Amino acid sequence: MSDEHIAPPPQHDPTLDPDVALHAAARRLEQEYGDVADETTIERALHDSHQEVAEGASVETFLPLLAERNIREQLQDAAEAERTES
């Protein structure tokens, strides 16, 4: 039997690592909404949101994206509230 047909073991893809994705999302959101919240606060909120959407999820691929969307909406609301108060 030849080893030619045996696929190599899958390598870790950092683009699929939720922590990497959430950190990148925090940096993006901080650039957009840094006047509303700092990167540490945003990253903490992203991790909390990720945990929330992960509960009961059968597919985890897009959970960081869903968490980012949730937090982006919250930051947009906070930015809008700040604008109306001024």
> Which amino acid would we find at residue 38?
D
| Reported confidence tier of residue 6, pLDDT bands at 50, 70, 90 | confident
Give domain status of residue 6, yes or no.
no
Task: List the domain range (segments joined by +) for residue 50.
Answer: 15-54+61-85
Give domain status of residue 30, yes or no.
yes
Q: What domain count does the chain have?
A: 1
Give domain status of residue 7, yes or no.
no
Give domain status of residue 8, yes or no.
no
In this prediction, residue 56 carries a pLDDT of 87
CATH number of the domain to which 73 belongs: 1.10.8
In the predicted structure, residue 9 carries a pLDDT above the cut 60: no
Kindly provide the b/e burial profile for residues 27-57, where b requires at least 16 CB atoms within 10 angstroms of the residue's own CB: eebbeebeebbebeebbebbbebbeebeeee
| Reported confidence tier of residue 76, pLDDT bands at 50, 70, 90 | very high
In this prediction, residue 8 carries a pLDDT of 63
Give domain status of residue 39, yes or no.
yes
* Per-residue pLDDT tens over the stretch 10-62: 665 656 789 999 999 999 999 999 999 999 999 999 999 999 999 989 988 89
In this prediction, residue 40 carries a pLDDT of 95
